[in-house]
Amino acid sequence: MTFIRLAACLSAATLAFAAPAYAQNSEGNSVTSPTSPPTAEKRDYSYTHHGITISDPYHWLKDQSYPTIDDEDVLDHLKAENAWFETRMAPQQALVDELYEEMKARVKEDDSTVPQRRGEWLYWSEFEEGKEYRKHYRKPVSGGDPVLILDENGMAEGHDYFRLGAFSISQDGRYLAYSTDTNGSERYTARIKDLETGELLADEIPGIRTNLTWVANDKALVYGEANENWRTLNAKVHYLGTPASEDIEIYTEADESFGVGTGLSAQEDWLIIGTGDNETSEVRLVRADDPTGEQILISPRIKGREYDVDVRDGTLYIHTNDDHVNFRLATASLDNPGDWTTLIAGSDEFYLDGFELFKDFYVTEGRLRGLDQIQLRSYADPNLVKPVAFTEASFSTGLSNNPEYDQDRLRLSYASMVTPDSVYDYHVATGELELLKQQEIPSGYDANLYEVERIEIAARDGTMIPVSIVSRKDREQGGPLHLYAYGAYGFAYPPSFSTTRLSLVDRGYAFAIAHIRGGDDLGRNWYLQGKLNERTNTFNDFVDVAKGLIAKGYTKQGKISASGGSAGGELMGVVVNTNPELWGAVVAHVPFVDVLSTMLDKDLPLTPGEWPEWGNPIESKQAFAYILSYSPYDQVVAQDYPPLLVTAGLNDPRVTYWEPAKWVAKLRELKTDDNELLLKTNMGAGHGGKSGRFASIYEVAEEYAFILWQMGEAD
């Protein structure tokens, strides 16, 4: 339920197709190219906790009026870093352009999603050639012409940044509620469109952070708003035609570390109000046709217990970790919602990470030996299980968009590191998998040129770490290798397909994903072994995988490039401190590197909800000391560091811009080498960088150009 540092990390360098002019600064004004990197001023600042005093001379890079960022010294420094980035990358412009054109040529520009039914309509979206954003359409199931219901391109005009958030069709199909963000701050504004008339209603709800849930027979919406610290601590009802100032708060969360979210039950008759942090949750139900009515508390929160709920024909289905770390599925009655009876017991082998209810069957999703599983199950016979079978040794799959309760076929997504993104319908009665669409690569793609391996490498404590590797079959043994990982919040980074990745692989790289602890790739314990007081397992796993790949002959020391974003950027910060000799180049996207200072600042957007993940150094001396022992910014020392490219977003509420800025400033002060150190701050974007599909590709091209340049692979 909380707002975590889960990174898309597909940020962008520029909008449109053309490359930016490196003789311009971030505001587009001509400047003189700098001849040396910027040096941040050191200003006296320190803080003391638990008798330990920490000096932080770059604390001033945090604008003290945040979230307003108007300190000219801060802005001037970030602009100077951007100018240095532009100057140093300028000689690589031809390579950036080459990579960008390669990547763009793999994108089907006039692409569309597979239509899916909801009620009496089929819905889908399309990209037009050359456009950055989608157009959304529908047409009657009974036949008729497509109707454009939303054009993101028109909405994005005049904005350097645009992101569509919620997209919610009313149950009767008449209204579309949606939300947009035009600066990357993740404070969305909601609007409502009448799809019968095409008119936009006067209703406007600013500052929301969540989805938009239709209730009260399509006369109202439930949402959560962002408070001044970006936290969502409530659920409110907005009735159509009334001002947002009159919206009714139906739930208020007292614990500022929790976050609130809402949704509908499978039969859309109950509004589900959930609240929780990274380890504890609590759920309430209220009739969807009477959202301000009496609420049913399923079970009071118990620290460390997670559960989520759905309802079918008056029976509650509860997915919980109360008696097994890998979760069980239980049932209960609405009359006695806290009395849970096991339907599917927790398993050491099968990690049950979710379920979905349909009219005649239900589906469980999870992982078995680290591989995604989709299982159809019978309400009448809990022992009857029909797994959806796939044949590749490593893949990523899951339920896709299935908006109707009465389904005779299931929409699934599927990909592997060599199989492009695929959309299937699974026919429930026959078990047939019908391929509806596979990602088209206009410039050509031959899967037979590539091979995928899934190996295991022993970490220093003997734990075997899975690694997924894709390479060309004709790759030279011991050649360059790119290593990627995330390793936090129980997010299992999938072994899926990437068209941009081919630009490295086709140049002789192997691309490896390390499924390190901190994710839940091998079950919930895998996640628990990489959080709180076991956080350093995550970093050790990544280093040990790199060393193991060298020992097995996949590559050589210094021929490994590495990247990660957000919490994965923290990983990059740690491993360049502990093992700088391993890496030929490192890219850290919006890196969470000032861990100790952030966890000490309870007024930052995420901090209270993050304490169950990292520890609370305010209350615990042990947590303070442990975080200090690995926090990348605090552990920078006078030594050689590998070449580094670091990115940031000025409006990022998840990893605030000053974390990478402070880290780079300290690295410039202390590092003893002449290797490249570049910081690029997107001045009008947030955690995911600039928006738009081609804009995001451009920044990947910049990243890969930096890697190839520093690894000596550029022409």
Structure tokens at 334: 């609405």
Q: Edge-to-edge strands of the sheet including 175-181? A: 163-169, 175-181, 188-194, 200-208
Task: State CA 128 to chain mean position distance.
Answer: 26
Q: Which listed residue (496, 687, 691, 696) is catalytic?
A: 687
Instruction: Give the residue from 141, 137, 522, 115 showing the smallest Cα distance to 348.
Output: 522
What distance in Å separates the CA atoms of residue 220 and residue 65, rounded to the nearest whole number?
37
> Which SS3 state, helix, strand or coil, does residue 488 take?
coil
On the question of pLDDT at 16 being above 50, the answer is: no
On the question of pLDDT at 285 being above 60, the answer is: yes
What distance in Å separates the CA atoms of residue 192 and residue 166, rounded to the nearest whole number?
11
> What backbone phi and psi angles, to 5 degrees, belong to 124?
-160, 175
Structure tokens at 204: 């406007």
Mean pLDDT of 264-279: 96
Q: Which listed residue (203, 353, 425, 652) is catalytic?
A: 652
pTM as predicted: 0.90
What pLDDT digit, counting tens, does each position of 132-145 carry?
Answer: 899 999 999 999 99
On the question of pLDDT at 700 being above 70, the answer is: yes
Give Cα separations from 117 to 114, 142, 166 (angstroms).
10, 11, 19
Mean pLDDT of 616-631: 98
Residue 686 pLDDT = 58
Residue 15 pLDDT = 23
* Max CA distance (Å), the chain: 74
AA letter at 69: I
Peptide bond into 206 cis (omega under 30): no
Sign of the alpha-carbon torsion through 592, 598, 603, 608: positive
Mean pLDDT of 499-517: 98
Mean pLDDT of 709-715: 87
225: which DSSP letter? B
Instruction: Give the residue from 344, 347, 298 showing the smallest Cα distance to 325.
Output: 347
Strands 560-565 and 481-484 turn out to be parallel
What distance in Å separates the CA atoms of residue 555 and residue 550, rounded to the nearest whole number?
5
On the question of pLDDT at 9 being above 70, the answer is: no
Strands 583-589 and 644-649 turn out to be parallel
- Report residue 209's pLDDT band, with 50, 70 and 90 as the boundaries: confident
Q: Which residue did the predictor score with more confidence, 607 or 713?
A: 607
> Which SS3 state, helix, strand or coil, does residue 341 take?
strand
Q: Mean of the per-residue pLDDT values for the chain?
A: 92
Residue 160 pLDDT = 86
On the question of pLDDT at 20 being above 50, the answer is: no
Residue 348 is a catalytic residue: no
What distance in Å separates the CA atoms of residue 69 and residue 711, rounded to the nearest whole number?
36
Element (H, E) at 307: strand 307-312
Residue 194 is a catalytic residue: no
Residue 29 pLDDT = 39
Give Cα separations from 593 to 277, 468, 598 (angstroms).
22, 26, 9
Q: Which residue did the predictor score with more confidence, 150 or 23?
A: 150
On the question of pLDDT at 21 being above 70, the answer is: no
Strands 163-169 and 175-181 turn out to be antiparallel
- Report residue 690's pLDDT band, with 50, 70 and 90 as the boundaries: low
Residue 592 pLDDT = 97
Beta bridge partners of 429: none
What distance in Å separates the CA atoms of residue 503 and residue 489, rounded to the nearest whole number?
30
Mean pLDDT of 459-485: 97
- Report residue 6's pLDDT band, with 50, 70 and 90 as the boundaries: very low
What distance in Å separates the CA atoms of residue 193 and residue 181, rounded to the nearest whole number?
17
Q: Edge-to-edge strands of the sheet including 371-377? A: 350-357, 362-368, 371-377, 385-387
CB 288 within 8 A of CB 216: yes
Strands 464-472 and 450-458 turn out to be antiparallel
Mean pLDDT of 50-58: 97
Beta bridge partners of 366: 352, 373
Mean pLDDT of 576-599: 98
> Which SS3 state, helix, strand or coil, does residue 245 take?
helix
Residue 238 is a catalytic residue: no
CB 686 within 8 A of CB 67: no
> What backbone phi and psi angles, to 5 degrees, belong to 527?
-70, -45
| CA-angle at 234, arms to 233 and 239, nearest 5° | 155
Q: Which residues contact 455 (CB under 8 A, 6 or more apart)?
A: 466, 467, 469, 552
On the question of pLDDT at 671 being above 50, the answer is: yes
Query: Percentage of the chain surpassing pLDDT 90?
Result: 87
Residue 24 pLDDT = 34
- Report residue 687's pLDDT band, with 50, 70 and 90 as the boundaries: low
Query: Percentage of the chain surpassing pLDDT 70?
Result: 95
Give Cα separations from 469 to 10, 78, 449 (angstroms).
21, 37, 14
What distance in Å separates the CA atoms of residue 235 and residue 224, rounded to the nearest whole number?
5
Give Cα separations from 430 to 235, 388, 408, 413, 433 (angstroms).
42, 11, 10, 19, 9
What distance in Å separates the CA atoms of residue 329 and residue 38, rounded to the nearest whole number?
56
Domains of the chain: 46-105+444-710 (3.40.50.1820)
- Report residue 393's pLDDT band, with 50, 70 and 90 as the boundaries: confident
- Report residue 27's pLDDT band, with 50, 70 and 90 as the boundaries: very low
Q: 89: number of CA atoms within 13 Å, CB side? A: 32
Mean pLDDT of 248-261: 95
